[in-house]
Chains A and B, each alone.
Chain A
């Protein structure tokens, strides 16, 4: 069962979505797509699959681990969407479902790609497939958010393409034959001209970090996350962020033998610290839960960037954090969407006393927030702690202290707001649960994700652990 089978089934699902007239049955297709994708991922993890074009499309360990995180998130989202879409009978769900399925195809292509050109094209396609989803609510605000999202990420990705052309040109100067194959480029980097390689690195990092939402390129993030449905917020902050992280990891893979890697590290370290700073500043006075989550996402991409910036020691933690962050963000955005529906508002002044209205959502949201803030016993604590440990290990105490201070500020900001949301007097805005009652599918998909975040702290299956180790080996680090 290779990629073509997967592609065939997904295209069949798209066709089915187009043909089926009943909007009630259509969400079922999305659920099937999510489940089928999960089975496919299990199959990939347990078997050696051969790929027809290994120079272009092939799952290596790095792609596998990122795709596993995405698939777990997507499975939960597709189950959630089954009931979510029923809440909006007037909207029509054809475009929604098709965009989601296109997103899964393009994300898989990006994870598989062994060629910078294909990686670039599929990342861009994955981004564009999300645009109609942000616009799903069709309000004045969602238009503005979509516009900013499209324009800024498109510019970012165009700049990244310039970087790719430059590295291709540098490769052409070395071998007289251009290539964008990641492994081939990696072998050539030591021979390449430093100027071209440096420019290329700068453009690639600028491009992909604007896609990832690292500060100071994060301005689209609070708007897009704030206005998109919670479901799509999860897809953006889990799926798209991990894709961008994959792109940055691939650049690391290419640059790892050369001296330019120092510039790469320093740039990402700087961007990471700036992201933590912006997140700490803006999260404390936030009065909108979804925008708060967006800044929490800025924090996490900042942490990933810092881990990449540490260099060899931080790579394992960077991959681990990307993986965990994908899953944790799902819980947060899904439960925030529920809260918004219960209180008919996402402003904190309208929301309080969630615990008295819906205890189960309150518990899920609270544990999601704790997980997202990186407190034990959730698995993000492990990766954040690893990063801190490595910061101390490379004897950059100043950065380590800065890192901890920012994290404490962010933690306090998030927790203060969460306590206000969860406890306290029941707000007058709270509708009765008869208007909106979180269904079994919705709650179970959230619990599934939070359990995953919890379980991974104590136990990671040997299979996944081996893949993780192999992925860091691919980046030139043996653990």
Chain B
């Protein structure tokens, strides 16, 4: 099982780079959905004996991360007619290189962290932290508001990967609270996106600058 999980996590890592390196928003949403699906499978693969609550967590994760939220985002994209190419402050090549450099450093230095189980835990830590790192690159470098939502989803995915480390030992309150907040957060963001569209002609954070110090 461990072999499968580590392979899945590597796919998750590659998907991060897919988001970093491509320019199409619909493609980003699909990649995030795929990432959500993979992360949703992992809770079933982790434990030695599968109980009901693992399946419940897995189903909930897949439902929200892979189906509802991507659908919601796709709907928003269609409804508000966002231009389908993202715009960057830094070029795609640059952001991919930055992401690769960061990930390498994280893979090197995370070996120094003390782990409960050195063989299995290391992948989780490395991939979690590099996903969070890439999420920040996406959020900082992209101009469109919807890219910020995608960056935020990546951030939550990264934290979830870290959460797998302790999911077996801490009662599932955390996972659900996490999920709940994710839903509500994205929900409110989505509503806001709609209203922003009504007020501005496009969703572009460079226009969100009327409030600032003169």
Q: Which residues from chain A sit less than 8 Å from chain B, CB to CB?
A: 115, 117-118, 120-121, 124-125, 128, 131-132, 135, 138, 140-141, 143-148, 150-151, 154-155, 157-158, 161-162, 164-166, 168-169, 172-173, 177-180, 193, 195-196, 222-223, 226-227, 282, 285, 287
B67: chain A residues within 8 A (beta carbon): none
User: Which of B132, B181, B184, B210 has the most A CB atoms < 10 Å from its CB?
Assistant: B181
Question: B108 in the interface, Cβ–Cβ < 8 Å?
Answer: no
A155: chain B residues within 8 A (beta carbon): 139, 152, 155
Contact with A along B172-191 (1 / 0, CB 8 A): 01100110110011001100
- Given that A155-B139, A161-B159 are known contacts, is A117 also in contact with B132, CB under 8 Å in the complex? no
Docked-complex contact A196 and B211, CB < 8 angstroms: no
Q: Which of B55-63, B80-88, B163-171 forms contacts with chain A?
A: B163-171
- Given that A117-B173, A158-B155 are known contacts, is A165 also in contact with B165, CB under 8 Å in the complex? yes
Contact with A along B134-149 (1 / 0, CB 8 A): 0000010000010010
Question: B48 in the interface, Cβ–Cβ < 8 Å?
Answer: no
- Given that A117-B177, A154-B152, A158-B156 are known contacts, is A173 also in contact with B114, CB under 8 Å in the complex? yes
Instruction: With CB as the reference atom, state the residue of chain B lying closest to A56.
Output: B173
5 pairs, CB–CB < 8 Å, chain A vs chain B:
A117-B170, A148-B211, A165-B174, A166-B162, A178-B166
- Given that A161-B178, A165-B165, A177-B169 are known contacts, is A147 also in contact with B196, CB under 8 Å in the complex? yes
Interface size on B, residues (CB 8 A): 38
Majority DSSP secondary structure for residues of B touching A: helix
- Quick one: which of A135, A162, A179, A222 contacts B211, CB cutoff 8 A? A222
Docked-complex contact B114 and A121, CB < 8 angstroms: no
Bound CA–CA A128/B177 (angstroms): 13
- Quick one: which of A121, A180, A282 contacts B170, CB cutoff 8 A? A180
Bound CA–CA A143/B199 (angstroms): 9
Instruction: With CB as the reference atom, state the residue of chain B lying closest to A148.
Output: B208
B97: chain A residues within 8 A (beta carbon): none
Docked-complex contact A141 and B159, CB < 8 angstroms: no
Docked-complex contact B166 and A172, CB < 8 angstroms: yes
Docked-complex contact B169 and A178, CB < 8 angstroms: yes
- Given that A162-B132, A168-B166, A169-B116 are known contacts, is A121 also in contact with B177, CB under 8 Å in the complex? yes
Shortest Cβ distance from residue A134 to the other chain B in the assembled complex, whole angstroms? 11
Known: A169-B166, A223-B211. 8 other contacts (CB 8 A): A124-B181, A135-B192, A147-B208, A155-B152, A166-B162, A172-B116, A172-B166, A222-B211
Contact with A along B194-210 (1 / 0, CB 8 A): 01100110000000101
Docked-complex contact B113 and A173, CB < 8 angstroms: no
Shortest Cβ distance from residue B142 to the other chain A in the assembled complex, whole angstroms? 13
A177: chain B residues within 8 A (beta carbon): 169
In order of increasing CB-CB distance, the 4 nearest A-B pairs are: A178-B169, A121-B177, A178-B170, A223-B211
Q: Which residues from chain B sit less than 8 Å from chain A, CB to CB?
A: 112-114, 116, 132, 139, 145, 148, 152, 155-156, 159, 162-163, 165-166, 169-170, 173-174, 177-178, 180-181, 184-185, 188-189, 192, 195-196, 199-200, 208, 210-211, 213-214
Bound CA–CA A120/B180 (angstroms): 12
A148: chain B residues within 8 A (beta carbon): 208, 211
Docked-complex contact A195 and B139, CB < 8 angstroms: no
User: Which of A117, A128, A132 has the most B CB atoms < 10 Å from its CB?
Assistant: A117
Docked-complex contact A169 and B152, CB < 8 angstroms: no
A227: chain B residues within 8 A (beta carbon): 211
- Quick one: which of A145, A169, A180 contacts B165, CB cutoff 8 A? A169
- Given that A165-B166, A173-B114, A173-B116 are known contacts, is A117 also in contact with B174, CB under 8 Å in the complex? yes
Instruction: With CB as the reference atom, state the residue of chain A lying closest to B213.
Output: A282
Shortest Cβ distance from residue A262 to the other chain B in the assembled complex, whole angstroms? 20
B178: chain A residues within 8 A (beta carbon): 121, 161
